[in-house]
Amino acid sequence: MAAPSLSKEGGGVTSDPVIRYFARIGANTRKIELGPASLLLDGSPLEADITTLPGSDRQHLRMDGRSLSLFARRTDSGWSIELEGRLFEVVVEDERTRHIRELASHVAPVEARRDLRAPMPGLIVRVEVEAGQDIEDGDGLVVMEAMKMENELRADGPGRVMSVEVKEGQAVERDAVLLRLEQR
């Protein structure tokens, strides 16, 4: 089932309510404004359409003329999104929730610890890191084979590998912990 398309040409300025969200990926936060016929990303108009591929957990995203394949699953803290072979942990808040969190945050931030999880069932082809290793944005972490395709899972920001939970040749189920990471 296709979601409705949102377009830059969405009928101009309207008095209809706009819902504001904030999507945090690592240290970066993006403002998303969703109106009845418009979509703005950081204040700029964006055309987007997303379709779930039949018989699959994957989605097809068309965004400003680009065509991308993605897999998204809800997590305790937001969304885990695999996009073009890279894995992103995304925390999404509405405007009210973000404001409450900012008012309540009196504690200094600590380094975020999180797990790299298998986006789908598959076979571990290669583990490209080891425990204690520092990683940078875009570094290859684990190569999985799923549906006869190799997928390299990459770091979405700088950090350190705390532990490796899988080994080469191991079969894993969707959502299995592959690595434990600490982000900087």
- Per-residue pLDDT tens, the chain, 184 aa: give them: 344 444 444 444 444 578 899 998 888 899 999 888 788 889 899 888 888 888 877 888 888 888 888 888 888 878 889 888 888 889 888 888 887 777 766 544 555 788 999 988 999 999 999 999 999 988 999 999 988 888 899 998 899 999 999 999 999 999 999 999 988 8
Q: Which CATH number fits domain 19-104: 3.40.309.10, 3.40.50.2000, 3.30.700.30, 3.40.50.10800?
A: 3.30.700.30
Which of 144, 179, 152, 151 is closest to 163 using CA atoms?
Answer: 179
Quote the pTM value. 0.48
Q: Locate the domains of the chain by residue range.
A: 19-104, 113-183
CATH number for 113-183 (one of 2.40.50.100, 3.30.390.50, 2.120.10.70, 3.90.25.10): it is: 2.40.50.100
Instruction: Count CA within 13 A, CB hemisphere, residue 52.
Output: 8
Q: Contact at 8 Å (CB) between 34 and 48? A: no
